[in-house]
Structure 1
Amino acid sequence: MSARSLRHYEDEGLILPGRIGNGYRDYCRSTIDRVLIIRSLLESGLPVRLIREVLPRLADGAGGGTGAPCAEFVQEVQSYRDRLAARIAELSAQQSALDAYLREARRPDR
């Protein structure tokens, strides 16, 4: 994990590291665990805005301590996934239109 990423997470309000006497940041085990959760959620494509909203519930053990995500979080993720799928469909349609144009432009009888 780069120092830049850690500072970014701090600036976004995702983590709050402690400070030692000389002003250096101190990352306790719970902060490190939280960073691992953040990284996992970012790698899955979730935006920081959504992570910021749901992270307190995930980190506080919401969901009865079973590790299962709460229904609200699942609904938010599904909504984000649906918006992403719609964007992908839109881009795929644009790509198909461009492919058709290029096929037509390359026809030898033109």
Structure 2
Amino acid sequence: MQIGDLAQRTGVSTRLLRYYQEQDLIHPNRLANGYRDFDELSVKRVLQIRALLEAGLSTSAIRRLLPCFTGEGETLRAMSDPEMAANLAQELSTIEERVATLTEQAEAIRRYLEQAKSTSGSDHAST
């Protein structure tokens, strides 16, 4: 199938499919006329990529981990693999660190907002 057909079947834009190809996540064949030719497995692969992106994984992490997943959409499951488990643990740790940082930043902004609400008009600096 051509890239437009894959886009229609997966709900992913052709631009994004080209990006997935650049990131070495999908691998179409090239026809003599230069068109990309995707097989049926490409549909499954794109749906797996979308699910893993929604989980917060980067395309580089997905490239390493994708061979260790089976199913698609709601049925996407990780296969038992110690190396993949270690990679997923590292990804989870990275995400948890980002969440902690964002929580700290949100708390700081919340404090500034409360201060701004309670500050009277006379406290503003002159220009």
- Using the size of structure 1 for normalisation, the TM-score is 0.76
Q: What residue number does 2:96 align with?
A: 85
Contact preservation (8 Å) 1:58, 1:69:
no
Query: Post-superposition shift, 1:45?
Result: 1.0
Q: Which of the residues 16, 23, 26 maps onto 1:5?
A: 16
Change in Cα spacing, 1:71 to 1:106, as seen in structure 2 (3 Å) is: same
Unaligned runs of 5+ in 1: 60-65
Q: Please tell me whether the aligned partners of residues 68 and 78 of structure 2 are also in contact (alpha carbons under 8 angstroms).
A: no
Matches within 5 A, 1:28-39: 28-39=39-50
1:108 Cα shift? 5.7
Q: Which residue of 2 aligns with 1:50?
A: 61
State yes or no: 1:40 paired with 2:51.
yes
Match for 1:6: what amino acid? L
Displacement, 1:2? 1.5
Letter in 2 for 1:94: Q
TM-score, normalised by the number of residues in structure 2: 0.67
Structure 2 Cα separation of the partners of residues 107 and 5 of structure 1? 47
Quote the residue 1:62 is aligned against.
none
Q: How many residues align structurally? A: 104
Structure 1 position 69, deviation (Å)? 4.2
Note if contact 1:15-1:31 (Cα within 8 Å) is conserved in structure 2.
Answer: yes
Matches of 1:49 and 1:77, distance apart in 2: 12
More deviation, 93-102/24-33: 93-102
Q: Which has the higher contact order (CA 8 A, sep 6+)?
A: 2
